[in-house]
Amino acid sequence: MTQGSYDIVIAGGGLGGATLGRALAGAGVRTLIVERETAFRDRVRGEGMMPWGVVEARALGIDRLLRDDGAHVVPFWRRYSGLVPAESRNLADTTPGHTPCLDFYHPSMQRTLLDAAESSGAIVLRGAEVVRVDQGDAPGKPPVAEIRTDGGTHRVKARLVVGADGRRSTVRRIAGFTLNQDPVRLIVAGVLYEGLDTPEDSVHHFQCPALGQAALVFPIGHQRFRTYFVSWVGHRAHPISGSGHTREFLDACVDTGVPRDWFERASVVGPLAAYPGADIWVEHPCNGSVVLIGDAAAASDPSWGCGLSLTLRDVRVLLDRLLANDDWEAAAHAYAFEHDRYYGALHRVLDWLTQLLYERGASADERRARILPCFAMEPDRAPDLPGLGPETPSDEEARRRFFVEDRFLPPG
Ligand SMILES: Cc1cc2nc3c(=O)[nH]c(=O)nc-3n(C[C@H](O)[C@H](O)[C@H](O)COP(=O)(O)OP(=O)(O)OC[C@H]3O[C@@H](n4cnc5c(N)ncnc54)[C@H](O)[C@@H]3O)c2cc1C
């Protein structure tokens, strides 16, 4: 089945690989998706898709698929300061795409999209790994992907190999891309609860800048809630991770403002895991015969919940370029240039938000005391991450407005 050649070989059948494979196969492109796992389990991955990502999901035709699979439509984003709801935002009314958040159980989303890719005509090889890519070293020579299965190793030719194999991407490493990583400033711990006593119509966002921490509760349907605790690195003696730390996780959420009684009848129904809150990315995620998408290209700091949306932006941009241009090398480079632009913009804005909302110490407190009241009076100084994502203004003028430098600098 895997011998011979395909138009495209995609390493990884996560959100990025499965969505791209489904769309390409549906357009008549001979597509092979190689997925390491045979069944999906809770890996504490993204389950809350921002409204700007839902716009991408609609454009790619997977929004309906996910809803039919039980994805949960979340119309409101509720921000709390302490225990008091400070703002409840109606997302469909206030975002440019008029879209809500879409939340889902990640393993179920992966299964649905990979099955859909198969139904569209992609060949899906499960329990198999891309372990090597020989890149066409002469012009016009196609790359060859080496795939390891239980039955041995197969070599498959393709016009293009796509690395959609996640934040620890093998394809990225074997294709020789240079990896960049921000210093780790935040730690994100997450776990799945069932039976929290809170409305399922809102993402609940507790931000506590004075303590350098936040808690986020994403309802994913059927009374289940993916819950995260985010804190400044070094603030705690150790990351909150592992089943022995569920009590500590709950207490940390309560410290951040989540009412304790929400948890009274709740139970933990998945692993508790912690991850570094830092971006990992490559510049120009294409080298001609190999192109990277999703977390393999740029895993944005999970604390800000943009990875799913960014992955779908990658899929849509790459797909459009490939379908519009017979020269796939040129198409893949065009995607990579575009990726550098929108990922770079998002990266800048997330950095500003991390500085403002999480940094600790007297000067950080002073900066917040100066800036946050200005945001309250002029809300358009703050980035619209849920609605605009990378299109939220991020140029020098936006930076000066964000840090309120436009008011305090001497004229001229
Ligand atoms: C703690 C945490 C919380 C997050 N929360 C959010 C959130 O709330 N909202 C949000 O938008 N994003 C969030 N994210 C980010 C989001 O999960 C990712 O951006 C998204 O899952 C990336 O999708 P992907 O398809 O690129 O990679 P993945 O989902 O990692 O999929 C990669 C696939 O490739 C397979 N694979 C790996 N290596 C190989 C190989 N060599 N050969 C074949 N297959 C291979 C893997 O088995 C996997 O199925 C979070 C991330 C973390 C870590």
Residue 338 located in a structural domain: yes
Residue 97 located in a structural domain: no
- Residue 24 and residue 172 in one domain: yes
Cα→Cα distances 115→18, 288, 335, Å: 8, 29, 26
Cα(364) to centroid(ligand 1), Å: 32
Dist. CA 4–CA 32, nearest whole Å = 11
- Residue 62 and residue 153 in one domain: yes
83 pLDDT exceeds 80?
no
- Residue 25 and residue 125 in one domain: yes
Dist. CA 10–CA 352, nearest whole Å = 34
Around 360, how many Cα atoms within 13 Å sit in the side-chain half-sphere? 12
The residue nearest atom 19 of ligand 1, judged by CA position, is: 307
Look at residues 232, 257, 277 and tell me which one is the last residue of a structural domain: 277
Choice from 77, 311, 339 to test ligand 1 binding pocket (greatest atom count within 8 A of CB): 311
Write down the H helix ranges in 162-235. Answer: 170-174
- Residue 64 and residue 110 in one domain: yes
The residue nearest atom 40 of ligand 1, judged by CA position, is: 129
- How much of the chain, in percent, has pLDDT values that exceed 90? 87
Kindly give, in sequence order, each residue whose CB lies less than 8 Å from that of residue 58, ignoring residues fewer than 6 positions away.
97, 99
The residue nearest atom 5 of ligand 1, judged by CA position, is: 46
Dist. CA 141–CA 144, nearest whole Å = 9
Q: Which residues' Cβ are closer than 6 Å to ligand 1?
A: 11-17, 34-37, 44-49, 129-130, 164-166, 170, 188, 190, 275, 294-295, 302, 305-309, 311
262 pLDDT exceeds 50?
yes
Choice from 2, 9, 10, 15 to test ligand 1 binding pocket (greatest atom count within 8 A of CB): 15
Digit-coded pLDDT (tens) for 356-393: 999 989 999 999 999 999 988 998 999 999 999 999 99
CATH number of the domain enclosing 134:
3.50.50.60
Atom of ligand 1 at shortest distance to CA of 190? Answer: 1
Cα(324) to centroid(ligand 1), Å: 27
Atom of ligand 1 at shortest distance to CA of 295? Answer: 26
Look at residues 346, 381, 399 and tell me which one is the last residue of a structural domain: 346
pLDDT of the residue at 234: 78
79 pLDDT exceeds 50?
yes
Around 279, how many Cα atoms within 13 Å sit in the side-chain half-sphere? 23
Residue 80 located in a structural domain: no
The residue nearest atom 49 of ligand 1, judged by CA position, is: 14
The residue nearest atom 26 of ligand 1, judged by CA position, is: 294
Residue 89 located in a structural domain: no
pLDDT of the residue at 133: 95
Atom of ligand 1 at shortest distance to CA of 53? Answer: 11
- Residue 177 and residue 190 in one domain: no
- Residue 284 and residue 236 in one domain: no
Residue 310 located in a structural domain: yes
Look at residues 277, 302, 324 and tell me which one is the last residue of a structural domain: 277
411 pLDDT exceeds 60?
no
Domain count, the chain: 3
- Residue 222 and residue 340 in one domain: no
Cα(210) to centroid(ligand 1), Å: 31
401 pLDDT exceeds 50?
yes
- Residue 137 and residue 47 in one domain: yes
Residue 124 located in a structural domain: yes
Q: Can you read off the two tokens belonging to residue 304? A: 């800000």
Choice from 34, 41, 45 to test ligand 1 binding pocket (greatest atom count within 8 A of CB): 45
Q: Which residue type sits at 375?
A: F
pLDDT bucket at 1, cuts 50 / 70 / 90? very low
Cα(302) to centroid(ligand 1), Å: 10
Greater confidence (191 vs 407) lies with 191
Q: How many residues in total does the chain contain?
A: 412
The residue nearest atom 52 of ligand 1, judged by CA position, is: 45
The residue nearest atom 20 of ligand 1, judged by CA position, is: 308
Cα→Cα distances 260→183, 206, 214, 236, 402, Å: 33, 13, 15, 21, 34
Cα(307) to centroid(ligand 1), Å: 8
Residue 220 · residue 270 · CB < 8 Å: no
Average pLDDT over residues 85-100: 92
pLDDT of the residue at 141: 80
Q: Domain of 392?
A: 361-408
- Sign (positive or negative) of CA dihedral 137, 140, 146, 147: positive
Residue 277 · residue 186 · CB < 8 Å: yes
Cα(10) to centroid(ligand 1), Å: 14
- Residue 302 and residue 234 in one domain: no
- Residue 146 and residue 13 in one domain: yes
Digit-coded pLDDT (tens) for 147-170: 999 989 999 999 999 999 999 999
Average pLDDT over residues 313-322: 98
Residue 351 located in a structural domain: no
Residue 78 located in a structural domain: no
CATH number of the domain enclosing 232:
3.30.9.100
- Residue 218 and residue 329 in one domain: no
Kindly give, in sequence order, each residue whose CB lies less than 8 Å from that of residue 90, ignoring residues fewer than 6 positions away.
75, 76
- Residue 243 and residue 122 in one domain: no
* Nearest in space to 161 (alpha carbons), one of 307, 14, 309, 287: 287
